Structure 1
Amino acid sequence: MSHTKGTWSGKAFELIDWQEQIIRDVFGTIKANGYRQFNTAYVEIPKKMGKSELAAAIALLLTCGDGEERAEVYGCAADRNQASIVFNVAADMVRLCPALSKRVKILDSQKRLIYLPTGSIYQVLSADVSNKHGFNTHGVVFDELHTQPNRKLFDVMTKGSGDARTQPLYFLITTAGNDTNSICYEIHQKALDIIDGRKIDHTFYPVIYGADEADDWTDPKVWRKANPSLGITVGIDKVKAACESAKQNPAEENSFRQLRLNQWVKQAVRWMPMDKWDKCSYSADPDSLAGRVCYGGLDLSSTTDITAFVLVFPPKDEADKYVVLPYFWIPEENMSLRVRRDHVPYDIWEKQGFLQTTDGNVVHYGFIETFIEKLGEKYNIREIAFDRWGAVQMVQNLEGMGFTVVPFGQGFKDMSPPTKELMKLTLEEKLSHGGHPVLRWMMDNIFIRTDPAGNIKPDKEKSTEKIDGAVAMIMALDRSIRNEGISGKSVYDERGILVL
């Protein structure tokens, strides 16, 4: 076979060392019965390393060279266009190979190849296939698994679809993603567990090329470590240029780390450095805070979603820290559904006491009002800030209980100062949040929007998952700073946003 694109077009397809190792291991490791040992291969590698060409070659090998009568080989991706990338490479390989072009019929409009001697097919699947069953799969090539919006397609194609075949192969190839609740991250973790010896699965073949979290992303040695085809399929000058651009524009750093170094990042523009956040996991005994002045932030979200209430206790002196006590509620009836759908451990958090449920399929605001009223008997809650577009009735009820409730805008003007201050306090380790796992998850979800003047605010629409607790904490922090005479002016007002 031959390469199909660019300067490589028409040249013999000779496997690069790392590609050859995968082919030798996956197709050459045989069980006592003569069939392949591995039925799943997971290859995670940066972009421009020759993923599409390798995937196309494997698809053709499974279709035309595996000795399987009427083999069914499928190409899958997040959408038909993505899946067609590998198919188009495979089709061009066939056209450039006289032996294959005589034996393979290409149906471009259907994105289908037929190997005539055995009646085997290679077919790109459409997006709605996740609702279908009955495949008799010999091979599946999943391209860019990290872009799968959910696990439906993966489950349909891998759970039982190859039971009638003697040696089906599921070839999963991808770059690192940014959704740690995805099917790809689940497989990524399994691959790491097998590589590190924490799990044993003799049918699963894991390959991960990438930089470690502690590696210096600007170091060319790290680039070579993460990119096994560097200098072959992509020049080091290209990577250097991308790195220099990321240095000049911090918003590009995570994109560089994800695509060029194959590191899992939380979202395209990461805000909170979680290692710094974790250093503020000091625990404060809630009982020891009884009678202390504090300020609340309330984010009601929707009645079927998470409601967050966060108390922030200002420091007693310069050596003290801001103490954060968060509380979360979710409707009991839809919790199991959300666990299955979102792959978020709400049920475990509820058992551990970090999340509370209210009866029914919507959040019971009366229950939360009573809970806050009891908190008010224990702590000196001076103010409760809330999103001015929140539930009017609940605000009136809290005011009727004697609380001072103040509206808090969600625009740059109101959100920017305390959001910057939160980062400053975190970096200085002047925050104490006790390592609360729900709040930590939400902090790790934050995507920050920036305006031309350098103001920032959390962006619920762009953030990968829920951030309600983080927003509630920011509102409470603002009231605490402004009312306790501690300057709300952040160093970021002068030097701009600090991106780590």
Structure 2
Amino acid sequence: MTACRWERLACIRFLHMLQEARKPRSEFIYDADRVADVCAFGETLPHSKGFEGTIVLEPVQCWWLAAIFGFRERDTGRRWTREVALWVPRKNGKTELAKIVVLYCQNFEGEPGAEGVIIAGSERQADIPLKAIRHTIDEVAELRDWTLAKGTHEEIRFRRHNAVLKLLAGRAPNLDGLNPHVVLAEEVHAQNQDVIGVIKTTQGARLQPLWLGISTAGRNATGPAYDGWKSDQQVLEGKMRADRVFIAMYAADVEDEERRFDPIIVEKLNPLFGISLNPVSLETEEREARKSEAKLQEYKRTRLNIWSRAAGNLFSVESWDACGDPKLTLDALRGYPMLVGVDLASHSDLNAACFLICVEEVLYAVFRYWLPERSVRFQDDRYADQFAAWARAGHLTLTKGSHVHHPTIRNDVLAMVRGHNVAGFAFDQHQADYLMGEVEAEGYAAYIVPKVAKHITYATDDIATRHQDPERFQHDGNPISSWCAGNVVGYRDANDNVLPKKEQKGSRQSIDGMDALISANAARLQAEAGNIAGGVKVIKPNIYLERGLIGFDA
């Protein structure tokens, strides 16, 4: 069976963890007996519906359970994995997996008073796994008697260890007194993401909490749940660290979408194809999807895990990384005209500069990033470790305090351009007044690049095309730039002008490095067209003159 790209990345990540677990100084070990125990427990439970007899775990389900329960803290023996994100199309055994995990966590992890919570976008959705667990307790007398289980419509109590499993759908904003050992989040894409964030904080007092998020792709690719999806992809790609998070994702790539009805594509995106997902039932769905756009969108969402109405990514991370060369330095390009793009953040977020040099037909880009040492980024569990690692590796400069320190950025930028043939600086107008004044005082030309589609379309499309060919574009391999590139989506208007933006306003998925690059490229194109001063000589006719590129003073 062919595996999708994201599944392969998850397997590689799992294998790397196994290697790390063997090292004597590793913080965690791998305990195969723990995995055998939870798998054996799972196979004593009955199917919830659709099948007779007890559950027979498939190899992929054993892998999921191994990733959750196999890694243990070396010093304490507690479960290492604290968060699970399982992005899988419908009818791939999610409910059965959730049932096994929740019952095991509440009754067999030695956690007294192990509170469990099921959350979903609606009570009806949350009731699906609760009914499955209640059915299991009714069917398995030995389990019921040993756990002293007693259920009501809204909760199940396991009186042997004073544990309780509750529903929170419909009352989720009232979170007073919660202290859950295990949280099952059903269909994460349909939930209130603010509530999800609050519930995660309620697990802080537990010694080995588990967050289990299970979902298909959603219907709103501009919502905060999609932000989490993108973050999980970046963890799988190695762009972000999340050592205690296990992610398994089954999702189509662009070429898969083009072959969306090919049984081979459907099979590789559905890990229980032919087992819990009946291929015959897909024939009706396919016929309907061929006749109706609405049915097609739902088919792609539920069978291929493609988010509805997703804006197009401007950059391929794989193509971007292929253009990276960590040995690239500005010293190697000394003497050639340089354009510097600067994107400054407000208050306490990421700041970026891109030093862009064109040598014949090749663009070379070197990036620099700054972040306040007391930035809120270091209070965000999802990003704190990664930003700290980037700082330790020298990819990120930390400035003093909790707010952006523009004088530090000024000194660093001016030091980097000293001795170079600087044609000009390009700024986004936001937060630019101080630094623009400083570079002009040093004798450099400074320009504002309006963040309006008609002003930056040519510069954006030029980079989007070049980054697919290392012979036309190369950069210094800064991993922050790769992360930013993966976060950029393109919004096009009726005239095919494109505006590069985050997936949604307020997203923590930064694009500052790409903003700086595009601003520098816009200035470069203007300079080549003779529209700005700075000593750039136009050697041959430029297509952007013929296209009538709008000047900075427009």
Instruction: Tell me how far apart the structure 2 counterparts of residues 134 and 53 of structure 1 sit (CA, whole Å).
Output: 23
Secondary structure in structure 1 of the residue aligned to 2:121: helix
Q: Which amino acid aligns with 1:278?
A: D
Shift in alpha-carbon separation, 1:302–1:178, aligned structure 2, 3 A: closer
Do the aligned partners of 2:134 and 2:151 also contact (CA within 8 Å) in 1? no
Partner of 2:283: 237
Deviations 1:51-104 (A, max 9, x none): 5643675589679999x9997552334xx535761325634996999989xx96
Do the aligned partners of 1:59 and 1:141 also contact (CA within 8 Å) in 2? no
Q: How far 1:224 sits from its partner (Å)?
A: 1.5
Partner of 1:373: 414
Shift in alpha-carbon separation, 1:274–1:358, aligned structure 2, 3 A: same
Of 301, 309, 319, the match for 2:353: 309
Q: Tell which deviates more after alignment, 386-395 or 111-120.
A: 111-120
Shift in alpha-carbon separation, 1:245–1:51, aligned structure 2, 3 A: farther
Shift in alpha-carbon separation, 1:173–1:38, aligned structure 2, 3 A: farther
Shift in alpha-carbon separation, 1:42–1:13, aligned structure 2, 3 A: farther
Number of equivalences: 449
Do the aligned partners of 2:487 and 2:503 also contact (CA within 8 Å) in 1? no
Partner of 2:482: 440
Q: Tell which deviates more after alignment, 380-389 or 45-54.
A: 45-54
Do the aligned partners of 1:292 and 1:380 also contact (CA within 8 Å) in 2? yes
Secondary structure in structure 1 of the residue aligned to 2:313: coil
Q: Tell which deviates more after alignment, 123-132 or 343-352.
A: 123-132
Deviations 1:101-144 (A, max 9, x none): xx96534xxx3345899987431246468775655x5x653434
Deviations 1:364-390 (A, max 9, x none): 222322333334432121121212344
Instruction: Tell me how far apart the structure 1 counterparts of residues 186 and 383 of structure 2 sit (CA, whole Å).
Output: 22
Secondary structure in structure 1 of the residue aligned to 2:228: coil
1:393 maps to 2:434: yes
Do the aligned partners of 1:181 and 1:344 also contact (CA within 8 Å) in 2? no
Instruction: Tell me how far apart the structure 1 counterparts of residues 183 and 177 of structure 2 sit (CA, whole Å).
Output: 15
Partner of 1:407: 448
Partner of 1:345: 386
Partner of 1:179: 228
Deviations 1:399-444 (A, max 9, x none): 2222211121111101211111111111233111121212111111
Do the aligned partners of 1:178 and 1:264 also contact (CA within 8 Å) in 2? no
Partner of 1:496: none
* Coordinate RMSD, CA, aligned: 5.5
Instruction: Tell me how far apart the structure 2 counterparts of residues 129 and 183 of structure 1 sit (CA, whole Å).
Output: 28
Instruction: Tell me how far apart the structure 1 counterparts of residues 185 and 160 of structure 2 sit (CA, whole Å).
Output: 25
Do the aligned partners of 2:90 and 2:216 also contact (CA within 8 Å) in 1? no
Partner of 2:265: 222
Structure 2 length-normalised TM: 0.63
Shift in alpha-carbon separation, 1:51–1:238, aligned structure 2, 3 A: farther
Deviations 1:16-36 (A, max 9, x none): 86499769x89xx9xxxxxxx
Do the aligned partners of 1:277 and 1:426 also contact (CA within 8 Å) in 2? yes
Shift in alpha-carbon separation, 1:400–1:86, aligned structure 2, 3 A: same
Shift in alpha-carbon separation, 1:117–1:439, aligned structure 2, 3 A: closer
1:423 maps to 2:464: yes
Instruction: Tell me how far apart the structure 1 counterparts of residues 444 and 80 of structure 2 sit (CA, whole Å).
Output: 62
Do the aligned partners of 1:52 and 1:86 also contact (CA within 8 Å) in 2? no
Instruction: Tell me how far apart the structure 2 counterparts of residues 229 and 69 of structure 1 sit (CA, whole Å).
Output: 32
Q: Which amino acid aligns with 1:334?
A: S
Secondary structure in structure 1 of the residue aligned to 2:467: helix
Instruction: Please list, as runs of the form range in 1=range in 2, the aligned pairs for 1:108-187 lying within 5 A after superposition.
Output: 111-113=154-156, 121-125=164-168, 127=172, 132=177, 134=179, 137=181, 140-144=183-187, 153-154=199-200, 156-157=202-203, 160=206, 173-175=214-216, 179=228
Secondary structure in structure 2 of the residue aligned to 1:370: helix
Shift in alpha-carbon separation, 1:242–1:160, aligned structure 2, 3 A: farther
Q: Which amino acid aligns with 1:325?
A: V
Q: Which consecutive unaligned segments of at least 5 residues does structure 1 have? A: 30-36, 163-167, 194-198, 494-500
Instruction: Please list, as runs of the form range in 1=range in 2, the aligned pairs for 1:171-210 lying within 5 A after superposition.
Output: 173-175=214-216, 179=228, 208=248, 210=250
Shift in alpha-carbon separation, 1:220–1:333, aligned structure 2, 3 A: same
Q: Which amino acid aligns with 1:106?
A: T
Q: Which amino acid aligns with 2:515?
A: V
Q: Tell which deviates more after alignment, 463-472 or 336-345.
A: 336-345
Q: Tell which deviates more after alignment, 439-448 or 326-335.
A: 326-335
Partner of 1:85: 125
Q: Tell which deviates more after alignment, 335-344 or 397-406.
A: 335-344
Partner of 1:475: 519
Do the aligned partners of 1:76 and 1:124 also contact (CA within 8 Å) in 2? yes
Instruction: Tell me how far apart the structure 1 counterparts of residues 340 and 160 of structure 2 sit (CA, whole Å).
Output: 72
1:295 maps to 2:342: no
Q: Tell which deviates more after alignment, 140-149 or 301-310.
A: 140-149
Q: How far 1:477 sits from its partner (Å)?
A: 0.7
Shift in alpha-carbon separation, 1:183–1:243, aligned structure 2, 3 A: same
Instruction: Tell me how far apart the structure 2 counterparts of residues 488 and 478 of structure 1 sit (CA, whole Å).
Output: 14
Partner of 1:75: 117
Do the aligned partners of 1:45 and 1:227 also contact (CA within 8 Å) in 2? no
1:46 maps to 2:88: yes
Instruction: Tell me how far apart the structure 1 counterparts of residues 86 and 112 of structure 2 sit (CA, whole Å).
Output: 30
Q: Which consecutive unaligned segments of at least 5 residues does structure 2 have? A: 1-45, 71-77, 141-148, 218-225, 530-540, 549-554
Q: Which amino acid aligns with 1:85?
A: Q
Deviations 1:175-212 (A, max 9, x none): 477637858986999xxx9xxxxx9x9xx9x8957369
Q: Which amino acid aligns with 1:81?
A: G
Partner of 2:13: none
1:284 maps to 2:328: yes
Q: Tell which deviates more after alignment, 80-89 or 419-428.
A: 80-89
Secondary structure in structure 1 of the residue aligned to 2:502: coil
Q: Which amino acid aligns with 1:368?
A: I
Instruction: Tell me how far apart the structure 2 counterparts of residues 468 and 441 of structure 1 sit (CA, whole Å).
Output: 10
Instruction: Tell me how far apart the structure 1 counterparts of residues 285 and 314 of structure 2 sit (CA, whole Å).
Output: 24
Do the aligned partners of 1:270 and 1:447 also contact (CA within 8 Å) in 2? yes
Do the aligned partners of 2:311 and 2:491 also contact (CA within 8 Å) in 1? no
Q: How far 1:278 sits from its partner (Å)?
A: 1.5
Do the aligned partners of 1:105 and 1:116 also contact (CA within 8 Å) in 2? no
Instruction: Tell me how far apart the structure 2 counterparts of residues 188 and 377 of structure 1 sit (CA, whole Å).
Output: 36
